[in-house]
Homo-oligomer: A and B are copies of this chain.
Amino acid sequence: MTIQGTMIIGHERRLGTAGSIKAIDPSTNTEMEPSFGLANSDDVDDACELARLAFDTYRETTPEQRAVFLESIADEIMALGSDLLDRAHRETGLPMARLEGERGRTMNQLRLFAKVVRDGHYLNATLDSALPERAPPRPDLRLRKIALGPVAVFGASNFPLAFSVAGGDTASALAAGCPVVVKAHSAHLGTSELVAQAVQSAARKCNMPVGVFSCLIGDGRQIGQELVSHPAIQAVGFTGSRQGGMALMRTAAQRHQPIPVYAEMSSINPVFLMPHALTNKTAQIATGFVDSLTLGVGQFCTNPGLVIAIDSHELDQFLDAARTAMQAKAAATMLTPGIHQAYVKGTAQLKQVAGVTEIAEGQAASPSQACAAQAQLLSCNAPQFLSQPELRDEVFGPASLVVRCASLDEMQTVAESLEGQLTATVHATAADYDYVQPLLPVLERKAGRILFNGFPTGVEVCHAMVHGGPFPSTSDSRTTSVGATAIDRFLRPVCYQAFPAELLPASLRDDNPLGLARVVDGALVVK
């Protein structure tokens, strides 16, 4: 498979004619070949109409067919070999080892959803028997979940594989039975084209209906809005900025038929250092924190951008240790020139806010390094933090703010003042648990995941993961974009009343041919 600057629209490979763009190598800030053709409205319409036409067939493929399709996508991506990693490395500046790991994670996601589809637990199969003797008689009632409809997916800049063309949103939507139309992220166009070809190839090999998958290239604002406005699209998956996510939310809410938007947007991921942990594990926490902060040049949704602790001698020691660790961190290339500019501007603005002081810096970029970010650790006290809401905004990159509190009560007040978060972290020893207890209900209200004695970067792909949280960390706190239950976003329940046995879907037949665990007359029955 080769990079030709084309989109994938069903079985077709199409060069967009509404202008062209090139990918940029952020390490040199130079354009790369080839040119990519941009979509026009007809291309959007073609992809969406094909998805609409594919929907009824695709959603009723058997679990085994859909699972094999997902596994085949994984195989086709692996078959791209080092061409994929090389291109992704050049387009994103991310190190090869990281990209290899991210590819592994992408495979895991696809295979996890293959398992989820085979298990069938997501169908929520539920049967209530007829009660003909009751007055009034109760009819036979059966519930299963079905796919919502075609889904628009917007890839993230910071995970060119795991949250992009064949990333978590696409994998979970395909698993649910939804055709997918991806808007490729302009930060990794060649990577996107390669992966899109891999998905197309898997769809062909698995005899999936034309239109089960398309991948468009185009201007985010124009093509993105057209995609979300298209009547065939029934849900949206997005990972990116708060501004971008909220624009899609508005468009989706203003449609004639409003649709759900699953936007993962912004989070500063507070880390609470409780007194005994701070005393007993000062250096260990400081090193772990700086490693987490600078991992991947701080370009993770779960980057620890806020530290909350009691102003104390121990905190000073923690900051000394963090300073030493940070001084050893080299500047590194960010994903795009735009992201780098926003980081430089964002950290400069933070430093201007009243009461904010500089604690430590990573190494400065060398003159030959384009788009390289220098890590930043800043500090303020709690009253300053509480009175200046701009300190609660995310600065995407390796910058963090330490909030010095006068007391445990003030730590609690800072916690209450936070907006919704993907994660909240607590460092505590057993001696701290009495202090942690009143903090936990606050953190449950604020975050989708609460961690003890770890760091929030590193989002495990498993059944119990929640990568979600209250607004503005996401648009919909009821869901997760990582982990097995991400499939629930793309489903809706349908009830079948007094259906003839011949017409029931397999998941609801008396003989339970799929071997599902089902709720029967209110009791869970495992076959």
Contact = CB atoms under 8 A, between A and B. Distances in A.
A460 B139 CA distance: 8
A475 B470 CA distance: 20
A142 interface: yes
Contacts of A464: 126-128, 141-143, 495, 519
B493 A437 contact: no
Given A257-B471, A503-B436, A497 B138 contact: no
A148 B469 CA distance: 11
Contacts of A257: 419-420, 470-472
B126 A500 contact: no
A444 interface: yes
Interface of A: 55-56, 60, 115, 119, 121, 124, 126-128, 136, 138-139, 141-143, 146, 148-149, 249-250, 253, 257-258, 260, 419-420, 428, 430, 433, 436-437, 440-441, 444-445, 447-454, 458, 460, 462-466, 468, 470-472, 475-480, 483-485, 491-500, 502-503, 517, 519, 521-522, 524, 526
6 contacts: A253-B253, A260-B478, A463-B522, A466-B494, A479-B493, A524-B526
A249 B250 CA distance: 12
A519 B139 contact: no
B519 A462 contact: no
Contacts of A497: 449-452, 454
Contacts of A517: 524
A493 B139 CA distance: 33
Nearest to A521: B463
Contact of A503 (B124, B128, B142, B440): B440
Contacts of A138: 460, 462
Q: Which 8 A-B pairs have the closest CB atoms?
A: A466-B495, A143-B464, A451-B497, A141-B464, A449-B495, A56-B441, A126-B464, A128-B464
